[in-house]
Structure 1
Amino acid sequence: MMRLRPTVRGLALACAAAGLAIAAYWTLQAAFLVPAVLAGGVVVAGLVLLAVSRPGRDVVWSPPAVAVEGVDLDVPVRLPEAYAGGWWRPQTSLDPITFTWDRLDAAATHLRVFSPHRGVHRLGPVRARRRDPLGAWLATTRLDDVGELVVGPRVTPLPASAVLGHGIDAATSRIGQGDLVDQLVRDYRPGDPVRRIHWRQTARHGDLMVRQEQPPATPRVLIVLDTLAAGWRDEDEFDEGVRAFASLCLAVASQGLDVEVRETGAAQLGEQAFTNRTALLDACARLEPARMAVERTADGPTIVVAGMGSPPLRRMLEELAPGSTVWSVTDDERTVGRTVRHVRWNAGHPYDARRPA
């Protein structure tokens, strides 16, 4: 919906037209009517021009795939060309929620975002202002197209030795070793090397048979994230836990290992979240404290990310296998197991708080 109000020029012309018309009436001088009609005509013509124009309503936001938490950025945005030279004021879910009116030198501009928090933030709607060609009226229009700014957690580079040591690396090296090379047998083809001939199957079938080697499965590392709201003192502490979780996942993936994640709450992270770095940060940006608990178990050495620890997580800690590691955002003793390593996250500066006895 378009809202109209006269500009200073429009008010001056309207007052002049009214004054001249009154003067013509009281003095019976028709000469006053000519400038009165001209001044009033400009006001009316400007209103008609605004009413018949079709400026368009499309707003195109072009944010990055995933922004970095705490880092200032400019989000490109394009408004309809009719608003070039006017003003605009975006409304977002960021802080501040409503921005001030800014001049639009061109239809393409940008929104400056300062130190965004982790999460998914709404961009828009936008209020835009433009003048009529005669400068008598100012039209304000709400443009409802919205965009989405995804802000991922801040990641701390972690050395593989700090993440995979103390039993985790040994466990991953054993995964899939029940049969590292799955030997399938097929008919011999010209050009197959002699060393791959399976003599026992050849004798059994009466024809030359060769082994068809398949590469071993990629080892996986199990990471448990306490996503229940009861496991964290507040949202800031939960955000710190997500930073630790994302940093650990990327450290594991950098070693060519797959990541398997289990959450203490309802699942929010799908398998597609671990296909690449951008997908992981996008999924972590959307993580929220869960209310409904889901009982999980941990098989073998495990990496656990926790705050003060929800009841389901504490039960899991009692059954953690030797060689597991608990990465704790707090120094709460309830998340420290006797037989596992305990690492204090310390706002991205981790240190070993306790080694297993």
Structure 2
Amino acid sequence: IVAALDATQHNPPFAPLHIRSDSKYVIDGLTEHLQSWEDRGWIGVSNSEFWRPLVARMRKRSAITTLQWVKGHSNNEGNDGADKQAEEGANKAAPDVVNLNTPAEFNLTGARIATLSQSLAYQGIRTAKTKATMRTSTLVSLDMTRHAAKDISNKLPTDSRIWRSIKSKDIARNIREFLWKCLHNAFRCGKWWQNIPNYEHRSVCPHCGTEESMEHILTECDAPGQTNVWKLARRLWLRKHAHWPAPTYGTIMACGLAEFKDNQDSPRPGAARLYRIIMSESAHLIWRIRCERRISREDDPQQYHSKAEIHNRWLHAINTRLTLDRAMTDRKKYGNKALPSQMVLNTWSGTLMNEDALPDDWIRQTGVL
């Protein structure tokens, strides 16, 4: 989409333009789906922030514009060159700025009442409210997550892609809510307490003496918890993989976007899934330990969590996920919702205790980390 948009922006509107693309999504979007997308007011249309300026600029052109689909990876000189440029762009340290301004005279707004259903109207209202109420802290969190995702996947995701990633089924349901609140900076810690009379002192971490924040809690605090948990997470990861991406607040929120490849540049979905599980479970445990320390144990150093307690609780959390994965491979019980056995094997192989003594298909056998 961006390539087509760039072509319309950098070619004279009075000169004929011929766009060749191996993306049926782009070709079909402009030829088959455009009318229905505009009729519904672009509500629920993915990448509408790119589609709308593209359509407007194509309509603004006075010369003819043609579209042609070409087969990808078929030794087409133009297509191969475009793929090479796309790869170079993905590896840039900083993304290019794309002009998404839509010419006002060609900016079609609103939806046709005849095509508007109640559910579609409600979706449009929710989308409008979301855009109107997006807080600065949320935007900062999204940008932090976006650039962290670039480090672990070489891709810069859109906001919608980030929101979808925290709904990954590889992440436990309660932790999805935790990550959602992290992105919205919705936890009552740090600056939140500065506006509560007589409770301003709660904004400071009593152990470190600095202002508390989710970033501080999950990756910086010296109190027993985060350092111990991340050491355990790193140790488990290195049993199977050579490189451990250092945990940051951004990579925690971007764990659902992680992608890993082997030496042949082939995707490793098992590695990505294990990373999502380790990162999400570890971050959530750190938060729970912090809340227990500050609330139920009232920041009493004598009641701080011991290293053994932290170790056992982290091991329990990971073992619980392993046990759940094994149980979810039962197709007789879960039907289409069952997990593929090979996916579970790819995720956990290499991390089990005494794994050499286990059968190749250890899913039905006892085994712990």
Q: TM-score, normalised by structure 2?
A: 0.23
Q: Which has the higher helix share?
A: 2
Q: TM-score, normalised by structure 1?
A: 0.23
Larger Rg: 1
